[in-house]
Amino acid sequence: MREVLLDEFKKVYGDNDGVRTYFAPGRVNMIGEHTDYNGGHVFPCALTIGTYAAVRKNKDKLLRFYSMNFESLGIINVSLGNLKYDEKDEWTNYPKGVIWALEEKGYKVEEGVDILYFGNIPNGSGLSSSASIEVLTGYIINDLFDFGIDLVSIALLSQKAENDFVGVNSGIMDQFAIAMGKKDHAIFLDTSDLSYEYAPLKLKDAKIVIAASNKKRRLADSKYNERRSECETALRDLKEVVDIKSLGDLTIEEFEEYKHHIKDDIHRQRAKHAVYENQRTIKAVRELKNNNISEFGKLMNESHVSLRDDYEVTGIELDTLVEAAWKQEGVIGSRMTGAGFGGCTVSIVKEDKIDAFIEKVGQEYKDKIGYAADFYVVDIGDGPKEI
Ligand code: GLA
């Protein structure tokens, strides 16, 4: 890959003297969905697919961005003194946002960079291609300018870029999973205080299969922010009667005891998902540690039902993929993953049944939805690195 990046860099920027190359992964969340902005637990892992970059400093106080995925856009130039969100700058708003966030925190980027990106995460699939670009950019700039920033802070800076520059009110899960990824491990993260633990994903004779629905997710951001505020309103109602900081502080019993104080039925339903999903995630990790993979799979299935019925973020495409998956032989668990409203599903499937799984689920999806899904058998990889 390094050779490909260097060749391409030379074509785009004239020569490749002194160019360094880097990689950051994408992520998939195994369980713990829509809990990260509710002070709950998540259980994501980094993938071996992700985003690559070739980069060097320039003397022009100019950021020059180029993506092999969007060749027709050519080089996009941004001057260092002028880091503002601009729709016409397209995907470069993500790396720009990270450099903006660095400067907000007092890290002055005094020289420009020429940078070329290439991503092999399927576009818009919900495997966090944008968080991958953000964390990669933070990692590179930190390295080139010797800022000495730790990985958790790079994740937080990247989240700040997403929230305050791009304007999507996302939680910390994606950036954290990417910055802190570890081969063959998922990260059990408590989003209330960012304490975390690595848990080996020992799947024995099974593998992780991702199915991308290929549904375009135009509404995703607005609906995402809507769910977030529904949970915040439910929390406000509960705080009048019980001393909690977030929905993640509640056990299921406590929620059942106090839930009637949530005034709106829909808000109560959303809060129910947040509380139950958090407890389900804690339980799932315990089952995994005890090598009880089939129980882990059942909890994945329950997670999907809750996201479908209580949180209402699935939609016909994701439901079709998951419900078809549940019927197949060798499927240990299957659910939507990420924000929802499109994007993809994650399934744990016995290795010798994967071909049949892809064929049958793929056929059922095409028959019902009218276009094809894409399937990826993925491996769990490390966080960002120089290559
Ligand atoms: C998106 C957000 C994450 C998280 C998930 C849902 O991926 O970026 O912060 O909220 O949705 O679990």
- Residue 204 DSSP symbol: T
Alpha-carbon distance of 371 to 384, in angstroms, equals: 34
The pLDDT of residue 18 is 96
pTM value is 0.96
Residue bearing the CA closest to ligand 1, atom 9: 171
Indicate if 187 and 212 belong to the same structural domain.
Answer: no
Indicate if 24 and 156 belong to the same structural domain.
Answer: yes
Distances (CA, A) of 122 to 25, 67, 97, 129, 216: 12, 14, 22, 8, 12
Residue 218's pLDDT band (boundaries 50, 70, 90)?
Answer: low
Distance of CA 144 to the CA centre of its chain: 25
Give the model confidence (pLDDT) of 172-209 as tens digits.
999 999 999 999 999 999 999 999 999 999 898 999 99
Give the model confidence (pLDDT) of 44-89 as tens digits.
999 999 999 999 999 999 999 999 999 999 999 999 988 999 888 8
So which residues are the catalytic ones?
174
For residue 50, give the H/E element and its range: strand 44-58
CATH classification at residue 174:
3.30.230.10
Considering Cα of 89, then 92, then 94, then 98, what sign does the dihedral take? negative
Indicate if 234 and 86 belong to the same structural domain.
Answer: no
Amino acid at 285: V
Alpha-carbon distance of 194 to 192, in angstroms, equals: 6
Residue bearing the CA closest to ligand 1, atom 1: 339
Phi, psi of 188 (to 5 degrees): -90, 100
Alpha-carbon distance of 19 to 61, in angstroms, equals: 17
- Residue 10 DSSP symbol: H
Question: Where do runs of H (alpha helix) occur along the chain?
Answer: 2-13, 93-104, 129-144, 151-160, 173-179, 220-239, 252-258, 265-289, 293-309, 316-326, 354-369
Indicate if 126 and 240 belong to the same structural domain.
Answer: no
Task: Examine the fold and report which residue of 175, 200, 225 is the final residue of a domain before the chain moves on.
Answer: 200
Indicate if 166 and 247 belong to the same structural domain.
Answer: no
Residue 305 pLDDT exceeds 80: yes
Indicate if 303 and 180 belong to the same structural domain.
Answer: no
**In terms of residue numbers, what domain contains 357?**
206-378
Distances (CA, A) of 98 to 110, 156, 260: 15, 10, 42
CATH classification at residue 212:
3.30.70.890
Total count of domains within the chain = 2
Residue bearing the CA closest to ligand 1, atom 2: 170
Alpha-carbon distance of 52 to 7, in angstroms, equals: 14
State the pairing for strand pair 112-119/62-67: parallel
Do the domain assignments include residue 37? yes
- Residue 182 DSSP symbol: B
Indicate if 169 and 237 belong to the same structural domain.
Answer: no
Q: Which of 34, 45, 94, 303 to mutate to test the pocket of ligand 1 (most atoms within 8 A of CB)?
A: 34
